[in-house]
Amino acid sequence: MPQGHVVCSGLVERIGEEMGRIIHKYDRDNEEKEIIIDEKIADHQEGLNLVADLLSHHEYGVITDVNEVKLVGHRIVHGGDRFHCVTRINKEVKEAIEELSNLAPLHNPANLTGIKTAEQVFPKATQVGVFDTAFHQSIPEVAFRYALPEKFYKENGIRLYGFHGTSHRYVSQKAAEFLGQDPKKTQLITLHLGNGASMTAIKNGRSIDTSLGMTTISGLVMGTRIGDIDPGVLIYMQEILGYNWKDVKRILNKESGLLGLSGDNDLRNISDRYLEGDERAILALSIYVYRIKKYIGAYIAAIGKVDAIVFTAGVGENSSLISELVCNNLEHLGISIDKEINNRRNGSERDLSDAKASIRTLVIPTNEELEIARQAFTLISEEK
C-alpha cells in the first residue's frame, strides 16, 4: 500500500480436518507463482503461524521478517450498531466483538480468534477491524426496525443490520467510477451473489436498505440458507411437527436454500441440470431468480431513479445464466441486456446493457481484501 499491488495471496483451508491445505501465491520477477502444501492444520493459530513462515520463507517469501508487517486488517462479520467505520482494535473493541457473538455465533468468535492469533504472530503490527455491518449503518430507522414491541429493539438490539457491506461498498464505488459518476450522486442496486447472497439499495452512495437482516438467513435464496420465510412456519415446525430450536436452526442454515430445493448447493451443478431439463433444478433456479426480481422491484421503489444494477461475487461475476434469467422480462423497468455480451465472461468490469436499457446492468468483480487494505491503510494514515 498505497499502490494496492498484491505481492502475495493465499488461503488456508480445512483447518481441524484430517488433511488441511495451504495455497500460497507470490510475486517473483513480475511473475505470479504458486505452491500448494497439504498437511494437517490443527487450529487457526497453527494456520496463521504457517502463513507467517511462508511470508518470510527464503524461497517463497516476500518479506525477511514478520516484523515488517505493520498493519493487519481483519474482516469482522457483526459490529452491531456500535461500529460505523473501520476501527483500530484494542481491548474494548475485542470485548465488544465478543459481546456481539450472540448475533453472529458462527462468525464473530472465529474473527476474534483471528485477531488474537494475529497479535501473537505479528506482534509489531497494528490490528484494524473492518466490519461487514458498517456500510449499512446509514440505513434509516424506517428500514432497519422490525415491527416488534419496542423493548426488543431498545433492550436486545433486535433490528436489521445487513452483511456483505465491505463487498457492497467496494463494488458501488467501482461501479460509479465505471459509469463516470460521482459515487455520492450514484444510485445502484448491488447483487452480491455467492453461496451466501444479499442485495443492497444504494442512494447517493449510501446503503438505504439491504436483504440480510439481523442474521445471515433472511432475504435471497442462498446455497444452504432459506432466505425470507413466514415466521409462523417456524412456530409450526416446533409446535406441530415436533422439531426443537436446534433442529430448526440447522435446517434453516444448512439444509435449505438451493440445497433443500434441488439436492445440491453448487450453482454450477444446478445450472448444468437446469439446461438439461432437470425439474428440481428448474424449480430451484426459478425460485432463486424470482426472489431476486422481487427485491429489484422493491429497491427501485425505495431508491427512485436507478443508474445501474450491479452483479458481483462468485455467482454474480461468473454465471451468465443467472444474469440472463434475472434480467429477462424486466424491459418495462428499463433493464435489458445484450445476450452475446452477457455470455462473454472474462473476469473484468463490463456493461451487459443493450441499446434499449435506461438502467445499466454491470458486472463488477468484488475485492474485499483490497477494500479492507484500503480502509485500514487510510485509517492509520489519517492518525499520523
Query: Alpha-carbon distance 22 to 7, whole Å?
Result: 17
| Cα maximum dimension of the chain | 66
Strand 197-203 versus strand 188-193 pairing type: antiparallel
Q: How far is CA 347 from CA 190, 320, 343, in A?
A: 17, 12, 12
Respond yes or no: is residue 132 known to be catalytic: yes
Closest CA to 80 of 165, 150, 162, 202: 162
- Give the DSSP per-residue string, 260-281: HHHS---HHHHHHHHHTT-HHH
The helix/strand/coil state of 131 is strand
Q: Which of 27, 38, 43, 132 is catalytic?
A: 132
Sign of CA dihedral 277, 271, 279, 228: negative
Closest CA to 46 of 83, 5, 17: 17
How many CA atoms are closer than 13 Å to the CA of 155, on its beta-carbon side? 5
C-alpha grid cell, residue 54: 511462508
Query: Which stretch of DSSP H or E encloses residue 28?
Result: strand 20-28
Where do the H-state alpha helices sit in the chain? 44-55, 91-99, 108-121, 141-144, 150-154, 165-179, 231-239, 245-254, 257-262, 267-275, 279-303, 313-318, 320-327, 339-342, 368-383
Q: Which residues pair with 360 in a beta bridge?
A: 308
168 near 124, Cβ under 8 Å? no
What single DSSP character describes residue 337? B
What single DSSP character describes residue 202? E
Cis-peptide into 123, omega within 30 deg: no
Q: Which residues are catalytic?
A: 132
